[in-house]
Amino acid sequence: MSAEQLAGLSDLFVVAAVLLYVFAMVAFAIELAFGKGVPDKAAAVERAEAKQTVAVGAGGTAGTLPVEDTAEAETPAAKGFGAVRAGQLALVLAWVGWAAHITAIVTRGLAVDRWPWGNMYEFVVAICFAAVTAFLGTQLRYNVRFLGAFVMVAAALGLGMAVKFFYTAAGPVVPALNSYWIAIHVTAAIVASGLFTMAGVSGILYLVRGDGVSRLPSRADLERVAHRAIVFAFPVWTFAVIAGALWADRAWGRYWGWDPKEVWSFITWVAYAAYLHAKVTAGWRGRAATIVQLVAFACLLFNLVGVNIFISGLHSYADV
């Protein structure tokens, strides 16, 4: 098969992945819409303790107010059989979309005879793949199906933007990118970005979720998913920054040159380090920690997209 045919096949598989992710998103959404509501246990306990304090202060008998007595713990309707089947179908569609996605990446790499993330189009496609892989990989061990609809939305939108706005025909890259370091530095950045994306989705859902019964999981569960993803992603991102400095020395003769991409990569690192530091030393929990995490995620998005589009530098490799 010729390079042109492989490139065309890659483009078709990207479109197929977008469609499959959209169908999976719909199925995940059906499961959320018709599934069982979940009370926010942490909020319920806080309200119970508050009511207990008021009762004691008013001269009432001190005692433990059961969580079941709160409004948040009202028993919701049991999850219907159709919702469960929709969730199972959604996972199948997500896995098939993942297979189409990785096929698109592999065929693109074969077409250009290099690692297929040498321009903005290829980079965004790879990050979307990393985000979906992080979700599906986590789902193999933990039940995080509640994230499915939102991760699928992010992946489908990211791929759609890549095709619509960032598309670059298959071809060679600039000499600075034609190095084995692209397999080390950029791959690490892609893996970390995928995990940070899953954490960002969890953080947004944390802020959206109400205190009462919701079809989203509890805030504690959402915060736990985000924290675990960041704990795993942060050292990978740290390695990506270090590897980038080593590559810069080899390509440009210096480890650090205050290039916009270098600066924002470091800012992103500092923001996530601040989140982890606050969680460990200051004991930040809940909304405050989530806001710090989302600020770091915003820095990441600007570093990955905004710097390449709006700020020129040595890392400007996309014709957008």
Report the SS3 class of residue 121: helix
CA distance 251 to 124: 23
Would you say 220 and 173 are in contact if contact means Cβ atoms under 8 Å apart? no
pLDDT for 43 beyond 60: no
Q: Please tell me the pTM assigned to this model.
A: 0.79
Would you say 15 and 191 are in contact if contact means Cβ atoms under 8 Å apart? no
Orientation angle between helical segments 3-34 and 81-112, nearest 10 degrees = 160
- Residue 32, pLDDT score: 83
- Cα dist. 177→12, 53, 232, 248 in Å? 26, 64, 27, 11
Quick one: average pLDDT of 286-301? 92
- What phi and psi, each to the nearest 5 degrees, are found at residue 214? -145, 155
More confident residue, 213 or 301: 301
Out of 3-17, 58-72, 118-132, least confident range: 58-72
CA distance 44 to 211: 8
pLDDT for 44 beyond 60: no
Quick one: average pLDDT of 10-24? 95
Quick one: average pLDDT of 258-283? 89
Mean pLDDT, the chain, as a whole number? 81
Quick one: average pLDDT of 271-298? 89
- Residue 279, pLDDT score: 85
- Cα dist. 245→125, 184, 217, 265 in Å? 24, 12, 40, 11
- Residue 218, pLDDT score: 83
Collect all residues with Cβ–Cβ distance below 8 Å to 280 and sequence separation of at least 6: none
Quick one: average pLDDT of 47-65? 44
CA distance 255 to 257: 7
Would you say 286 and 223 are in contact if contact means Cβ atoms under 8 Å apart? yes
Quick one: average pLDDT of 58-79? 40
